[in-house]
């Protein structure tokens, strides 16, 4: 969250001042790449609605910083929450994890999810998998300050090969390819489904799997169809979350260990 406090006579020049939140204002802020914003509306709930929709790099000037932070904490949301399905992934992590949990990041990539998980389970463990050395190196660097992360250069279809001394609370899959790297090195439906099935066996009774699917590219579309089929055919308890009705947009599948 990018917050700043400023007094009336100390306003930055490139800042847009708004007192009303509507679609038009939002588009203006996001499309014109406005970097900072002063909110003078006193309705803190409305301000929070707005903040949830703003790009994470927009700096917000408000004297209600503390109160706003408290409201967002209660909502389990934050700036940019409405803009990306990955924010829902984070929200699910926040909602479901406690400090002693064991978790798996099945596709570590650049390590953002691994880092979020490492923060959320300081007394637990994070096990991370990827098939690319570049991903392992990036993630290793990102989590170098954490001592609860264990990384493996190994396909997630073998996640059951490790000796976990505790049930796993949450497994996260962010499918597709590593942004900025070879797009041909992407997750494939057969190994993804094998891994999901094995992950289900490793979960505690209240455990869950978060799968972000990208049907916008060819392999991702195939993956999306086949994962869906697998979940339906096996009577698995799952929920689909979308933040847009565009068919090609990424979406989240939440898979629950328990059927009730």
The site for ligand SAM (CB under 6 A) is made up of 107-113, 129-132, 135, 155-156, 174, 176-178, 185-187, 191
Q: Report the C-alpha gap between 245 and 69 in whole angstroms.
A: 30
112 Cβ contact list (under 8 Å, min separation 6): 142
Strands 125-130 and 149-153: parallel
Closest to ligand SAM by CB, 68 vs 215, is 215
User: Any idea what the Cα angle at residue 84 is, between residues 187 and 242, rounded to 5°?
Assistant: 75
Give residue number: closest CB to ligand SAM.
109
Closest to ligand SAM by CB, 101 vs 130, is 130
Closest to ligand SAM by CB, 92 vs 186, is 186
CA-based max dimension of the chain: 64
Closest to ligand SAM by CB, 135 vs 170, is 135
Q: What Rg value do the Cα atoms of the chain yield, rounded?
A: 20
Sheet holding 59-61, edge to edge: 3-4, 59-61, 36-39, 15-18
| Cβ at position 188, least distance to ligand SAM in Å | 7
| Cβ at position 147, least distance to ligand SAM in Å | 20
| Cβ at position 25, least distance to ligand SAM in Å | 31
| Cβ at position 85, least distance to ligand SAM in Å | 12
Number of neighbours of residue 8 by Cβ within 10 angstroms: 8
| Cβ at position 139, least distance to ligand SAM in Å | 8
Closest to ligand SAM by CB, 26 vs 185, is 185
């Amino acid at each position: 969250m990018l917050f700043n406090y400023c007094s009336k006579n100390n306003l930055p020049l490139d800042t847009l001042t708004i007192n009303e939140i509507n679609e038009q204002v939002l588009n203006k802020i996001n499309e014109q790449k406005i970097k900072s914003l002063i909110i003078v509306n006193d309705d803190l709930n409305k301000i929070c609605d707005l903040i949830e929709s703003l790009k994470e790099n927009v700096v917000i000037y408000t004297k209600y910083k503390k109160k706003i932070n408290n409201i967002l904490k209660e909502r389990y949301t934050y700036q940019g929450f409405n803009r990306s399905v990955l924010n829902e992934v984070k929200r699910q992590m926040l909602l479901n994890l406690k400090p002693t949990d064991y978790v798996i990041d099945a596709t570590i990539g650049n390590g953002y999810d691994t880092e979020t998980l490492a923060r959320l389970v300081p007394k637990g463990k994070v096990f991370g998998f990827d098939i690319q050395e570049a991903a392992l190196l990036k993630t290793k660097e990102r989590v170098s300050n954490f001592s609860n992360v264990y990384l493996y250069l190994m396909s997630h279809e073998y996640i059951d090969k490790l000796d976990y001394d505790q049930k796993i609370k949450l497994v996260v899959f962010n499918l597709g390819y590593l942004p900025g790297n070879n797009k041909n090195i992407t997750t494939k439906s057969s190994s993804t489904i094998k891994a999901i099935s094995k992950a289900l066996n490793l979960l505690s009774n209240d455990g869950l799997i978060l799968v972000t699917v990208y049907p916008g590219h060819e392999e991702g579309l195939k993956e999306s169809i086949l994962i869906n089929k697998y979940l339906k055919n096996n009577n698995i308890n799952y929920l689909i979350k979308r933040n847009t009705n565009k068919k090609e947009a990424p979406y989240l599948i939440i898979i629950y260990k328990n059927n009730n």
